[in-house]
Amino acid sequence: MATIIFYQKGGCVTNARQIRSLTAAGHRVIAKDILKEPWRTEELRSFFGHTPVASWFNRAAPRIKSGDVNPDTIDAASALALMLGDPLLIRRPLIDADGERCAGFDREPVLSLLGRTAPDDLEGCSREGTLMDCPSK
């Protein structure tokens, strides 16, 4: 089984559920706080691979919901600069599974780690559709 570095936002119910699914599949998960990590541009960029820049963003981030940041109009360099300044903008979780990296829970290597060929309901926010908002920090 894999050792997985799992960058999450502390207290996120969805991230906790995702960690439980990985450990139930027999993997060792080392959880880290995405907001406290001292990110460098090259390291952060390595989680996004060849995915479109707009998919790098956490669409539930306050600055995106307010319209302050529009992920659909930002280039890679600007996106990374914004994320380094405001880690809430980074799509979670960031996964490092024995050197294979991704952002989000709906792609490889996560699907293989869980023995799936398609994503399930572990990606979306557990609190969407409720009146409860996650604390921003």
> Active-site residues: which are they?
12
d(CA 131, CA 26): 34
- The CB density around residue 79, as the number of other CB atoms within 10 Å, is 21
For 111, phi then psi, to 5°, come to: -60, -45
Q: Which residues pair with 29 in a beta bridge?
A: 4
Q: Which residues pair with 101 in a beta bridge?
A: 96
Owner of token pair 């309901």: 121
d(CA 51, CA 48): 6
Q: Minimal CA–CA distance to 69: which of 46, 91, 50? A: 91
Q: Which residues pair with 32 in a beta bridge?
A: 7
